[in-house]
């Protein structure tokens, strides 16, 4: 299987994740003019599963190091499979709230508030979970700057709220709930992933997965490779969708209930938008958990959730979601972007200083 062996490559993978996680929602925006998000979301989860299986049967199978995907599934413990699976369930609940928030309040509000909050809480959870080796002060300062950026976005939202429809306020509440749930899923997935057992000066030790460590040690038995964890995570999303998304179709956050028959009335392009959005997000997830082996879960997750800034760029500059905002909003948005950039830079540096 392929593993990430150096920190610059891990950071590069996290940057691609940032772009993927911050851009997938454009598919939902493009389809939303004629296709309800509840219907879009079915195809989205199929896309996430497809991306995870492509990773598993390519990078997760080829190569001499570690265990191939099918061999890893055969030896996986139910507890660790369950941890990754429940990570998918938690993520799905959070992501449905996010998609609803996007539909109600737009990307420029939903992403900075929801995913920004998830970044702050998620980095803390993964840090205290023990998966960080670096300068904790720089990491904390980076997260603090992101928090300031979230506050600035909320201030910009308040200006927008006075000229927007009432649904925006409901979207903001959903974004906050999304952020709380979204902060938990990555820890559940990361805890299921195997490290390498090597003989050190104090007996057997656990080290990060790398080409060198795989040559001198063995993967933990029962634990999962990143590829298997990613597939279990995607299966959790898909199966939970039959409960969560079905509930939203019956009792939607906005609009009238959506009949299941409407899904089969969609045109090919409607379904393709959803699958494409899921594949884009799934590619980001696959690269991110690969990067976590070298960067650590706290840094990898934190950088990936820089998607907030990417999504805000789409919302502000492409979809023009703040075009009706009053004077004084632009400086707040500019400071928000600066806060995110500075915070993410400190998160990157914290791992090597």
| pLDDT tens for each residue of 240-293 | 999 999 999 999 887 899 999 999 999 999 999 999 999 999 999 999 999 998
Give the total residue count for the chain: 353
pTM of the model: 0.90
Range 308-315 average pLDDT: 82
Cα 213 from Cα 227, distance rounded (Å): 18
Question: CA dist 219 to 57, 131, 141, 205, 225, Å?
Answer: 19, 17, 34, 11, 8
The share of the chain scoring above pLDDT 90, in percent, equals 53
| pLDDT tens for each residue of 123-140 | 889 888 866 778 999 999
User: 139: closest CA among 150, 123, 126, 121?
Assistant: 123
- Give 64 or 314, the one with higher predicted confidence: 314
Does residue 164 register a pLDDT over 50?
A: no
| Cβ 266 vs Cβ 43: under 8 Å | no
Cα 192 from Cα 51, distance rounded (Å): 19
Does residue 9 register a pLDDT over 90?
A: yes
Place of tokens 């995907």: 69
Average pLDDT, the chain: 88
292 Cβ partners below 8 Å, 6+ apart?
10, 131, 190, 193, 226, 300, 301
| pLDDT tens for each residue of 210-243 | 888 888 889 999 999 999 999 999 999 999 999 9
Cα 30 from Cα 36, distance rounded (Å): 11
232 Cβ partners below 8 Å, 6+ apart?
81, 84, 85, 88, 192, 224
Does residue 330 register a pLDDT over 60?
A: yes
- Give 178 or 112, the one with higher predicted confidence: 178
């Amino acid at each position: 299987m392929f593993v990430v062996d150096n920190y610059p490559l891990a950071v590069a993978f996290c940057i691609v994740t940032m772009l993927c996680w911050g851009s997938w929602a454009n598919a939902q925006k493009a389809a939303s003019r004629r296709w309800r998000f509840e219907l879009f979301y079915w195809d989205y989860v199929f896309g996430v599963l497809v991306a995870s299986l492509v990773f598993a049967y390519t990078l997760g199978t080829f190569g001499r190091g570690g265990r191939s995907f099918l061999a890893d599934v055969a030896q996986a413990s139910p507890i660790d499979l369950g941890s990754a699976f429940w990570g998918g369930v938690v993520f799905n609940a959070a992501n449905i709230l996010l998609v609803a928030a996007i539909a109600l309040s737009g990307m420029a509000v939903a992403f900075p508030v929801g995913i920004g909050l998830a970044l702050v809480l998620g980095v803390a959870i993964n840090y205290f979970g023990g998966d960080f080796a670096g300068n904790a002060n720089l990491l904390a300062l980076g997260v603090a700057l992101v928090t300031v950026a979230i506050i600035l976005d909320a201030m910009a939202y308040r200006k927008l709220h006075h000229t927007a429809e009432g649904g925006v306020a409901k979207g903001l509440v959903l974004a906050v709930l999304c952020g709380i749930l979204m902060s938990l899923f990555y820890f559940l997935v990361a805890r299921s992933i195997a490290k390498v057992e090597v003989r050190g000066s104090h007996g057997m030790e656990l080290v990060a997965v790398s080409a060198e460590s795989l040559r001198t040690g063995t993967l933990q038995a029962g634990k999962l490779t990143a590829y298997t964890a990613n597939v279990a995570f995607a299966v959790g999303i898909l199966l939970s969708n039959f409960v969560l998304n079905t509930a939203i179709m019956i009792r939607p956050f906005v609009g009238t209930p959506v009949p299941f028959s409407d899904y089969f009335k969609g045109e090919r392009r409607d379904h393709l938008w959803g699958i494409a959005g899921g594949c884009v997000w799934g590619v980001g997830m696959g690269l991110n958990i690969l990067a976590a082996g070298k960067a650590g879960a706290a840094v990898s997750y934190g950088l990936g959730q820089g998607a907030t800034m990417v999504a805000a760029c789409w919302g502000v500059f492409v979809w023009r979601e703040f075009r009706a905002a009053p004077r004084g909003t632009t400086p707040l948005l500019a400071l928000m972007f600066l806060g995110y950039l500075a915070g993410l830079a400190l998160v990157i540096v914290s791992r090597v200083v």
